[in-house]
Amino acid sequence: MCRTAFLILIALLFSACTPIAQVAPISDMGAGTDTPTPTALWTVMPQSTVTAVLSRTPAPTRTKIPTIAPTLDPIRNTPPTLMLHRPNLKFDSLAFLKDFIALLKLNNMQVVTYRYIYEHPDITAIEKGKLFIITIDDIFLAYPIDKRVLEMIQALRDAGFPAVLGVVTETAYVDPRNAALLRELSDSGWEIATHTDNHVNLGRAEEASSKLVRNEVTISLDKIEKVTGVRPITLVLPEGNMVNNVNAIQQMGIYWIVGISDGNTYDVRDPIVYVGREGPYTNAGRTFKLMQDRFGF
Ligand SMILES: [Zn+2]
């Protein structure tokens, strides 16, 4: 009698559990299809009670799905780069720059520097077509910066845009206001690049002496580092004239050589890269369009 009672008890327990086990998969499958996880894992899972119950706690299974790391193309488009100088009688680069800043904002362009890209090399692949560089050449350490160039710098600061200044170091004297401003700009993310010690056409200088090229670059690097506390990694070529011995420039600690023509793409695997720039063309709108065609953004 005792064994019979035990068997009846077991039978009752099973009959009590069975309906729940049969209902569970139906409701769980419904819950699974409502969850927006379009992965292969969901479709290949056997529709048993156990897997249906497991699938209600999706977080652990999702983290197990292998992800493929994206491989970035080492050949990059050079970010469109605008080459500016101080205003003159023929061209009001201050008014031009103000119009251009408005265009950059309208097009949601991210204004960066060469150094920033050097420190964040993937950005030219990830933010392709959204980056922009502005350079202002011929800032002399020794002489007070032109009042309208100071206004150009202020317009960029007001916009929250950093820029690259091509600095000619020349004499041993440094104007103290220039030194203070360049240090302040450098500290706030601007880039102070060398534009050589005496604004020398390096391509021509190289024909005469490789030592002349080395002095023009390294003396200038020393002087700028003394002022800003940061040794430049960017050389803005006077007159855009490139040298033949690029290795010699690389050994001086330069990564970016900035000219004018060509250099629309570069290879991140190279130890030193040449990039080109575009000067202003009649007005901001036409220049922007020209740069879109050249740099492909
Ligand atoms: Zn120059």
Please give the residue that has the higher pLDDT: either 47 or 166.
166
Q: How far is the CA of 237 from the centre of ligand 1 (A)?
A: 7
Q: How far is the CA of 195 from the centre of ligand 1 (A)?
A: 7
- Identify the bridge partners of residue 112 per DSSP, sorted by sequence position: 133
Are 263 and 225 a contacting pair, CB within 8 Å?
no
Residue 43: pLDDT band (50, 70, 90) is very low
Q: How far is the CA of 125 from the centre of ligand 1 (A)?
A: 30
CA dihedral 181, 139, 219, 217 (to 10 degrees): 130
Q: How far is the CA of 139 from the centre of ligand 1 (A)?
A: 8
Are 237 and 206 a contacting pair, CB within 8 Å?
no
Q: How far is the CA of 291 from the centre of ligand 1 (A)?
A: 21
According to DSSP, residue 281 is labeled: -
Report which secondary-structure segment, H or E, holds 56. Answer: none
Q: How far is the CA of 74 from the centre of ligand 1 (A)?
A: 30
- Identify the bridge partners of residue 234 per DSSP, sorted by sequence position: 256
Q: How far is the CA of 78 from the centre of ligand 1 (A)?
A: 21
Tell me, what's the pLDDT at 70?
A: 74
Closest by Cα among 264, 256, 181 to 217:
256
Q: How far is the CA of 270 from the centre of ligand 1 (A)?
A: 26
Closest by Cα among 201, 190, 195, 81 to 135:
81
Q: How far is the CA of 183 from the centre of ligand 1 (A)?
A: 21
Confidence (pTM) = 0.77
- The answer on pLDDT for 274 being more than 80 is yes
Query: pLDDT digits over 196-225, tens only?
Result: 999 999 999 999 999 999 999 999 999 999
Question: How open is the CA angle 14-18-19, to the nearest 5 degrees?
Answer: 140
Query: pLDDT digits over 151-177, tens only?
Result: 999 999 999 999 999 999 999 999 999
Q: Which residues surround ligand 1, an ion (CB under 5 A)?
A: 137-138, 238
